[in-house]
Each structure stands twice: as structure tokens, then as C-alpha cells.
Amino acid sequence: MAEYRKPLPRAEDYPLTEPFWEATKRHELVIPRCKRCNLYFWYPRQECPNCYQRDQWEWTPVSGRAHLHTFTVVRQPQNPAFADDVPYAYAIVQLEEGVRMISNVVGCAIPDDLKVDMPLMATFDDVTPECTLVKFKPA
């Protein structure tokens, strides 16, 4: 495998997110869910953004079903490490559990196949032995 040269999330800098990255390695998507008010939320943080309970949430497996909330097509990446990927979809995806996350849409023609509200499914890209990224493909 060629060396992966793109910047990667550094879970060690954000220990709160380590269970998320461990799950993606198993090709599972987990999202924080408050044990008090049952809200799923994203991004991960110590406090529920609805009821403000601290440390009263758990990583909860979700289906991976989503839809494309909005997107832009990147043709001139700010970071030259992504130059070979253009054009690519920088997307905000809404999971069926309600949370929105930033990701990429893959597995289709960019930009022709991209449509707001199109159904998507999570897919897992093992970019290095230590890191698996969550992306989305047409469902």
C-alpha cells in the first residue's frame, strides 16, 4: 500500500472520540446518545446539547442510513494532498437518527449523480491500518 499522505484525524488529541475511531475500524458507526433525554448528537462533547447533562451519554450504534443534506464540489483543494481526488463531494449528511455530519459522498459520478436529499448509506474507508474514515455512498 502506498503511503497515505492526506491529513488524518488525531484521535489521541481528542480522547473523547477514541471509541468512535475504534468503531469505524470495525466498520461500525456509533454516535453519542444522551441516556437522560435520548437525543443523538454530533459532534461528540461531554455535555448533552439538549438537557446539559454531563457525561450521561453513551456511544450508540446507528444504522448508517442517511440522506444528503447539502454539498459542494471541490475542484481546487486547499491542501495539495487532495489534488488527485478532484472533483470530490464535501457533504453534510443527515443520519436517519437526526444528526448531521461532514463527510464525502463516494461511489457515484461527481457532480452529476449528486442530488440534495438523495438516500445514502455509510461506507468505511480503511485509509491506513490505524484509521478508517466514514464516507457515504448512494443507497
Is 108 a binding residue for Zn ion by CB under 5 A? The answer is no
CB of 42 to Zn ion, least distance (A): 13
Cβ closest to Zn ion, residue 37 vs residue 131: 37
Cβ closest to Zn ion, residue 5 vs residue 35: 35
Is 46 a binding residue for Zn ion by CB under 5 A? The answer is no
Cβ closest to Zn ion, residue 6 vs residue 36: 36
Cβ closest to Zn ion, residue 38 vs residue 63: 38
Is 60 a binding residue for Zn ion by CB under 5 A? The answer is no
Q: Which of 23, 29, 48, 120 binds Zn ion (CB under 5 A)?
A: 48
Number of residues that bind Zn ion (CB under 5 A): 7
91: DSSP letter = E
Is 102 a binding residue for Zn ion by CB under 5 A? The answer is no
Strand ranges for 12-99 from DSSP E:
30-34, 57-61, 65-74, 88-95
Give the integer Cα–Cα distance in Å for 73 and 136: 15
Q: Residue 113 has which C-alpha cell?
A: 449523480
Give the integer Cα–Cα distance in Å for 108 and 10: 28
Q: Which residues contact 8 (CB under 8 A, 6 or more apart)?
A: 127, 128, 131
Q: Which of 34, 95, 110, 122 binds Zn ion (CB under 5 A)?
A: 34
Q: Which residues contact 49 (CB under 8 A, 6 or more apart)?
A: 39, 41
Interacting residue ranges for Zn ion, rule: CB under 5 A: 34, 36-37, 39, 48, 50-51
